[in-house]
Amino acid sequence: MMSPVYNNLGQLTPMKLLYGRGAPANNVGNDGDSYINLDNSFMFGPKTGGVWPSGYSIKGDKGDKGDTGDVNKTPIARMNVTGNGLDLDLSTGIGCFNATINSPQTAITISNPATDANFVRSFSLVLKQGTGSNKVSTWPAIIKWNGGVAPVLSYAQGVSDAFMFETYDGGKSYVGYFVGNNIPA
């Protein structure tokens, strides 16, 4: 804790907390000020008689590693698609898109894919037949399906089809997996 600083007239002097790179030069700041060296987390001050005292570390010991959290939790977006387009916006952090499609022809797009090629990125998609007999008219060209052929959706009203997508090249292409079809409600 710092004590208040008074000038030669006995008046309380305002103090400032300054910061910068390296130790402070004596021409920096006023008496009563303190200074933090951002390079090594050393605190200097309060400055007295125009001179900075030696600094001391304000960095504590390294603490215990924190909990990683539940790595099996993935945010889900539930959507009821009434138009003929479904955009999967990957910038939102959503890991699972669960969409009910109600249009005979639905075009799917992927926007804002992750661009870091140092990580595998994946997301899942569940398409439920709202009115039944709906199709995906267009899949994004960046999706690479097994055998080069996109799967055909189940047709019965209320059933779902499940897909998983992974990118290994920063979102330039996705491998598409058809992981379940005709899944009852």
132: left (phi over 0), alpha (psi -120 to 50) or beta: left
Q: Residue 2: what residue type? A: M
Provide the pLDDT for residue 7.
66
- What DSSP character marks residue 136? E
Q: Considering only 46-55, 101-110, 114-123, 172-181, which range has the smallest mean pLDDT?
A: 114-123
Provide the pLDDT for residue 115.
87
Provide the pLDDT for residue 66.
78
Query: How many residues does this entry show for the chain?
Result: 185
Q: Is the pLDDT of residue 117 over 90?
A: no
The residue among 90, 81, 98 whose CA lies nearest residue 166 is: 90
Q: Is 140 exposed, middle or buried (0-12, 13-18, 19+ CB in 10 A)?
A: middle
Provide the pLDDT for residue 3.
60
Cα 148 to chain center, whole Å?
A: 32
Q: Which residue has the higher pLDDT, 15 or 80?
A: 80
Q: Which long-range contacts (CB under 8 A, 24 or more apart) does 113-119 make?
A: 113/142, 113/167, 113/170, 113/171, 113/174, 114/90, 114/167, 114/170, 114/171, 115/170, 115/171, 116/170, 117/168, 117/169, 117/170
What is the pLDDT confidence band of residue 1, given thresholds at 50, 70 and 90?
very low
Structure token digits, residue 16:
């400032």
Q: What percent of the chain has pLDDT over 90?
A: 68
- What DSSP character marks residue 53? -
Q: Whole-model pTM?
A: 0.62
Please tell me the distance from the alpha carbon of residue 46 to that of residue 91, in angstroms, as a whole number.
47
Structure token digits, residue 173:
């292409």
Please tell me the distance from the alpha carbon of residue 72 to that of residue 69, in angstroms, as a whole number.
9
Question: Which residue, chain included where needed, has tokens 């600083």?
Answer: 5
Q: What mean pLDDT is predicted for residues 22-31?
A: 92
Provide the pLDDT for residue 44.
94
Q: In this structure, are strands 76-81 and 174-183 parallel, antiparallel, or unpaired? A: unpaired
What is the pLDDT confidence band of residue 159, given thresholds at 50, 70 and 90?
very high
| Averaged confidence pLDDT in the chain | 90
Q: What mean pLDDT is predicted for residues 153-174?
A: 95
What is the pLDDT confidence band of residue 136, given thresholds at 50, 70 and 90?
very high
